[in-house]
Structure 1
Amino acid sequence: MKEKFHFIGIKGSGMSSLAQILFDNGFEVQGSDIESELFTQKGLDERGIKLFSFSKKNISGEHIYIIGNAFNESNEEVKEVLSKNFKSYKYHEFLGNWMKRFTSIGISGTHGKTSTTSLLSHVLTNLSPTSALIGDGTGYGTIDSKYFSFEACEYKRHFLWYSPDYAIITNIDFDHPDYFDDLDDVLNAFNNFASQSGKKVIVCGDDAHTPKLKNYKLAVTYGLKDGNVVQATNIEINPQTTSFEVVFKGENQGKVKIPLHGDHAIQNTLAVLTVCLLEGMSIYDVAPHLMTFKGAKRRFSIEDWNSAVIVDDYAHHPKEIEVTIEAARQKYPNREIVAVFQPHTFTRTAKFLNEFKDSLSKADKVYGCPIFGSAREQDATLTIEDLLSLIPHSETLTIEHIDKLSLHPDSVLLFMGAGDIGKYIEAYKQDTAMQQHA
């Protein structure tokens, strides 16, 4: 008889994905979380996975309990599980054991993890049985999977529970200042992760900080610059696609085309192609599936709305904002670029105040929403006005004054943030719909 699983915090991005994978593998799965509807639960709802509100009544002892990384004994279910000594795992602990049955590819990096994992999973699924765990709440798998593509997050060094066959490092930057001390602390974590790969470490050679890593095992670099083992050359950009030729160990492997924009998109694609090349696949087998990629959730998700374009993006770090604006300018070279930004956590906003100023200033107009804080934070004295005071072409935006965006009818509206920025998108849609019917 197969085990039954109960997920505590099932709507977390990784937890939701893992629950879907176990369900697809024939296990009985249920879970608990807050009542609010989150975008990560779509796959759970589609599978009919039972969802409950947190209550110790959900803990009967008949399940294996998987505990989300954000939860401890202050949660009544976690407290009940641990006090009764029921069989349980932390999320990253269970995942570290689960992946051992596949050829595993762990995608890490300060930025670009979800986009790269999503693209790699899409490509591999079209070429071979594959299970995937993606940080946008997407997860799927089959019993006969050969590959397991998963997102490996550095926060609190959780990825050190994993020893994948291939470790991808998209880039290294200082983030999560509530946990990491500085860039050297982040580098130390990635060094340890790199040392745990079984076959190869696949690293973006264009990044400023990856060369500082010392614990490579047979590293393979990719990027746009000369000297990378896998390199993109002869890049051509138009509003619909980006195309380039792929050179592997000095030999041209052929031309590929992607429906994406920005140097980061090319680099992420090269990471995917590097895995495929190392696994003996041909560029010609991979190329058709790159163009059918629809993107990860909340990663440059595009929606035409009246004469404007809405872009929903998870960007919450200065570097991510910069590349999102770059991609928008490449895809929409003749439109006004309007940034609507909701900072995520007071800690990150305070630490990178000047960097946020620099990246947001690349937009034509900036609207700042109130900071989305974290329950972990104590000091909430910083305000959105502290950031906007540094940016000349900026002003505050609240739900009550969402009509300010109607001043930009033909623009690209970049809604960016890792909090509840989605409510601003919905408010904007409702406001414009009311104006049309007025």
Structure 2
Amino acid sequence: MNKTAVYFVGIGGIGMSGLAQYFLAQGHAVAGYDRTLTPLTEKLVTLGATVTDSEDVTAIPPLFRDAAQTKVIYTPAIPAHSPLLDFFRTGEFVLQKRAEIIGEISATMPCLAVAGTHGKTTTTSLLTHLLRASGKKITAFLGGIAQNIGSNFLHEGQDVLVVEADEFDRSFMHLSPTTIALTSMDADHLDIYGSSDELAKTFSAFAAKVSSEKRFIRHGLAVDGNTFGLDVGTHRVVNLRTQEGCYIFDFQTPETTITNLKLPYPGHHNLMNASAALALALEANCNPESLREALATFMGVDRRFSVRMTSPKVLIDDYAHHPTEINAVVDAIETFYPNKIKLGVFQPHLFSRTRDFEKGFKKALARFDEVILLDIYPARELPIVGITSHILIEKLHPNTALISKEELYQKVANSTAEVVAIMGAGDIAFEVSAIMQTLKNQAHE
């Protein structure tokens, strides 16, 4: 890239902040805007970036107003009418979507790409951990904070690039992968694709970027290639059992079997994620013994079934924002906290997703003994007439309440639930600390 300065419109997102770290590591001047300042933006500032929450064009530093010096990177989550985008578009700046830039980077080194409507972040984070433990010098762009590295970005070398292949806005079609894993193809982002069939076609088109020998597909999906699964597929988990809160299993491939693997991370969906990561790591010529040792030390991803406290209640923080993901949270609770009273606190994400999966959300939430709903987090969307969180209140589930954030802390504290799951992809994550403090205060009364 010939430009010396890079300006990010939407710099605080999990994907954009990782890319900003990449350009900082390359020695570029970096600045950007985000409507909310968070620990991610604070980290960027400590690394040398200039970050503002003002959309006023006067907040753009002088260097970044020079079209000859500055490349502008933006996320499709930014509204099209953004005054910042209008300023850059009329000023002859070079504008590119984040997906285009990641695509350019993916062409510079071997690229392991993980696609799927669920499981991408955990699989890529685990794969990053496995590759590092095997001595690979890698670059990784992750969709969450991987606990083993404390970051959503890693830049240690160019042996391998690990990247989430994001289906939103067909972003993954910009990638140049050498090997892929496909974890799921559940309907999602129907505001972009229009139908589940169109989404499936696009996943198939992405898979076609590599030969079938370089594809690792969850068993049962309608895409040719190697397959992974539980007791099925070319790459399979076998001899599964639980021991002291961990999964113990063997991993069997056409070439080898790794015995007595230990996964200290709950949920059968995470066994599937582990299968995909192990398959890709073996394809990258990692030593099976190093993989056994590394898997046992995987610490997970922030907000992916993160247990924040165990007393006076078990409090779980999770990014779940789709019915399938909520069901996975409940499955994990029922496995590791059986027969406990369960409270689900859910902030729906996007009006369109709430509308498109209303029935699925109702069915998944009904698995909790109690449900608390917050208003829909709009993200990039404008309201849709008639679509509010109220439509998710299931009349057959009497223990459901739609409340404000101000009421949330005491409502959780007063619940009889023994296990509480805080779920959503919006700003509900920022409420977890206050909930924890309320519970601790109540315990000391």
TM-score by length of 1: 0.90
1:155 aligns to 2:168 (yes or no): yes
* AA partner of residue 204 (structure 1): R
State the Cα distance separating 1:246 from its structure 2 match.
0.6
Equivalents in 1 of 2:42, 2:81: separation in Å?
A: 27
After superposition, residues 15-414 of structure 1 pair within 5 angstroms as: 15-34=16-35, 36-38=36-38, 40-41=40-41, 43-52=43-52, 53-57=54-58, 58=60, 59-61=64-66, 62-71=69-78, 74-127=81-134, 128-136=136-144, 138-142=151-155, 144-197=157-210, 200-205=214-219, 207=220, 210-211=221-222, 213=223, 216=224, 219-226=225-232, 228-238=233-243, 240-249=245-254, 251-304=256-309, 306-396=311-401, 397-402=403-408, 403-408=410-415, 411-414=418-421
Distance 2:197 2:39 in 1: 34
Over the residues paired in the alignment, what is the CA RMSD in angstroms?
2.3
Letter of the structure 2 residue corresponding to residue 192 of structure 1: A
Report the AA paired with residue 372 of structure 1.
Y
Using the alignment, how far apart are the partners of 1:46 and 1:409 within structure 2? 43
Deviations 1:27-64 (A, max 9, x none): 33222222x23354354245242212334342422222
Helix, strand or coil for the counterpart of 2:330? helix
Q: CA deviation at 1:72?
A: 5.9
- Taking a change above 3 Å as real, the CA distance of residues 436 and 411 of structure 1, as seen in their structure-2 partners, is closer
SS in 1 for 2:345: strand
Partner of 2:435: 428
Greater mean deviation of Cα atoms: 69-78 or 118-127: 69-78
Deviation at 1:154, TM superposition (A): 0.7
Structure 1 position 398, deviation (Å): 2.8
The percent of aligned pairs where both chains have the same amino acid is 28
Deviations 1:260-290 (A, max 9, x none): 1221100100101101111222221112112
Contact 1:133/1:151 (<8 A) preserved: yes
The alpha carbon displacement at 1:175 in A equals 0.8
SS in 2 for 1:406: helix
Give the superposition deviation at 1:405: 1.8
Q: Alpha-carbon deviations, 1:345-397, whole Å to 9, x = none?
A: 22212221221122122222222222223442341423333212344143213
1:7 partner SS: strand
CA spacing shift, 1:241–1:437, aligned 2, 3 Å: closer
Change (3 A) 1:250 1:197: closer
3-state DSSP of counterpart to 1:105: strand
Contact 1:345 1:374 in 2 (8 A): yes
Distance 2:152 2:439 in 1: 35
Matches of 2:406 and 2:239, distance apart in 1? 48
Q: CA 1:147–1:283 in 2, change beyond 3 Å: closer, same or farther? A: same
Whole-Å separation in 2 of the counterparts to 1:371 and 1:2: 39
With over 3 angstroms needed to count, the CA separation of the structure-2 counterparts of 1:371 and 1:141, relative to structure 1, is closer
Q: What is the deviation of 1:337?
A: 2.1
Q: Distance in 1 between matches of 2:42 and 2:185?
A: 31
Which sits farther off after the overlay, 39-48 or 272-281?
39-48
Q: Structure 2: which amino acid aligns with 1:363?
A: F
Distance 2:396 2:378 in 1: 21
CA separation in 2, counterparts of 1:410 and 1:387?
20
Q: 1:383 to 1:69 in 2, by over 3 A?
A: closer
Assess, with a 3 A threshold, how the Cα gap between structure 1 residues 140 and 424 changes in structure 2: closer, same or farther. Answer: closer
**Helix, strand or coil at the partner of 1:178:** helix
CA shift at 1:90, angstroms?
1.5
The structure-2 alpha-carbon separation of the partners of 1:177 and 1:377, relative to structure 1 and needing over 3 Å to count, comes to farther
Q: 2:42 & 2:289 partners in 1: Cα distance? A: 33
The one-letter amino acid of 2:108's match is R
Residue pair 1:5, 1:64 contacting (<8 A) in 2 also: yes
Q: Which moved more, 1:412-421 or 1:73-82?
A: 73-82
State the one-letter code of the partner of 2:91. K
Separation of aligned partners in 1, 2:248 and 2:42: 33
Question: Is the CA contact (8 Å cut-off) linking 1:365 and 1:394 kept in structure 2?
Answer: yes
Structure 2 unaligned residues grouped into runs of 5+: 146-150
Aligned-partner residue type, residue 302 of structure 2 = K
Matched to 1:358, the amino acid is K
**Secondary structure in structure 1 of the residue aligned to 2:24:** helix
Q: 1:96 is matched by which residue type in structure 2?
A: G
Relative to the length of structure 2, the TM-score reads: 0.89
Determine the C-alpha separation between the residues in 1 that align with 2:216 and 2:82. 38
Select between 363-372 and 262-271 the one with higher mean Cα deviation. Answer: 363-372
Report the Cα distance in structure 1 between the residues aligned to 2:328 and 2:89, rounded to whole angstroms.
44
User: Does the aligned pair in 1 maintain the 2:351–2:381 contact within 8 Å?
Assistant: no
> Which 10-residue stretch deviates more, 145-154 or 383-392?
383-392
What is the rounded CA distance, in whole Å, between the counterparts of 1:142 and 1:427 in structure 2? 34
Cα drift, residue 71 of structure 1: 3.1
Q: 8 Å contact 1:301–1:313 — kept in the other structure?
A: yes
Deviation at 1:410, TM superposition (A): 6.5
Superposition deviation, residue 411 in structure 1: 1.3
Instruction: Determine helix, strand or coil for the equivalent of 2:400.
Output: strand
| CA–CA separation in structure 2 for the residues paired with 1:433 and 1:250 | 52
